Amino acid sequence: MMFGFGAQRRQILEAEMQRFVDEMPQLGMTAMYLIGPFARGENDPGTVLDLLVVQETDDPVHRRADFWTTHLRPRIGINFYVYTQDEFDNPPGRDMILHDAANNGERIYG
């Protein structure tokens, strides 16, 4: 057991998330939700940020996260899940990421 690690890891994750909130709107983000384990209060050495990003884009779904990774160069583990506003408002079928955002997520921008 590593004492003090949890607080330090949480601080690192929160600082990186704040950096994204500061930088992403100028790159086209209109809303962002924290989802996944960190949103549920889990915090261990493998905890990463899972962020649902709303952005208007014509990129195919499988390429959308690449934009954010290359522009922001994350300093920690992160998963970007990018949806257009229309996809967010009218989810195609049962989308588990959108379900997680609606039930467990925390709106952190927009």
Structure confidence by residue, pLDDT tens digits, 27-51: 999 999 999 999 999 888 889 999 9
User: 66-106 pLDDT, tens per residue?
Assistant: 999 999 999 999 999 999 999 999 987 889 999 989 888 99
pTM of the model: 0.91
pLDDT of 1 > 50? The answer is: no
Distance from C-alpha of 29 to C-alpha of 23, rounded to nearest angstrom: 9
Distance from C-alpha of 66 to C-alpha of 7, rounded to nearest angstrom: 30
CATH superfamily of domain region 5-109: Beta Polymerase, domain 2 (3.30.460.10)
Q: For residue 46, what pLDDT is reported?
A: 86
**Contacts for 16 with CB less than 8 Å, ≥ 6 apart:** 49, 74, 75, 76, 78
What are the boundaries of each domain within the chain?
5-109
Q: For residue 91, what pLDDT is reported?
A: 86
Distance from C-alpha of 26 to C-alpha of 39, rounded to nearest angstrom: 24
Q: For residue 3, what pLDDT is reported?
A: 56
